[in-house]
Amino acid sequence: MSDDEQQAPPTQEEVKSEDALSTINIKVVSSTGEEVFFKIKRSTKLSKLQGAYASKVGKDVSSIRFLYDGSRIADDDTPQSLDMEDNDTIDVMVERRRCIVPSPVIPASPTRFVSLPYSIMYNPPSLPGHLDSNQTYSFSA
C-alpha cells in the first residue's frame, strides 16, 4: 500500500468532535413551561427519553404526548431520523380525558325525584362506570 492510501489514526480533537456529533442535547418543555434537559445519542430511540421524562414527572407514559415540530413522536423515532439539531425542543402535552357522568338522583319528595344535570369527569378511569376508591377524581358541573 502506498502512503496515500494509509489513513492516519484520528487525532484526539477529531475523536472529541465525533463524540459531540454523536450526542445531542434536547430540551423537553411541558405546557406549563417546565423544562427538563436530556443528553442522548443521535441513534437512541426517543421512547427511552419519553420513559425517563414520564418517570421524572410521575406520569404514565401513555398519558403524555410528545411533539416535535408539531408532529407526534413515534416510539421508534430517533433524533437522527427526525433530523434534530443540538438544543432542539420537544413539546409535551398531558392527555386530559373526559367523560360525561350522570349525577345522582335526589328524592325531592317520597313520590318525586329530582335529577341533577350531568357532570364532566376529568381523567376518568379506563373503565367508565367503575370508580377506583383509591383514586381521586375531579368533577365539574
Q: What is the pLDDT of residue 98?
A: 57
The CA distance from 108 to 115, in Å, is 9
Please give the torsion angle defined by the CA atoms of residues 50, 55, 60 and 62, in that order, rounded to the nearest 10 degrees.
10
Topology of domain 13-94, per CATH? Ubiquitin-like (UB roll) (3.10.20)
Any idea where the domains of the chain sit in the sequence? 13-94, 98-140
Q: What is the pLDDT of residue 91?
A: 94
Q: What is the pLDDT of residue 31?
A: 86
CA distances from 93 to 49, 64, 102, 128, 138 (A): 15, 6, 28, 23, 19
Q: What is the pLDDT of residue 35?
A: 92
Tens digits of per-residue pLDDT, 33-42?
Answer: 999 999 999 9
Q: What is the pLDDT of residue 5?
A: 56
Mean pLDDT for the chain? 74
Stretch 43-62: mean pLDDT = 92
- Which has more confidence, 70 or 12? 70
- Which has more confidence, 76 or 114? 76
The CA distance from 88 to 110, in Å, is 65
Tens digits of per-residue pLDDT, 103-141?
Answer: 555 555 555 555 555 555 555 555 444 444 445 555 554
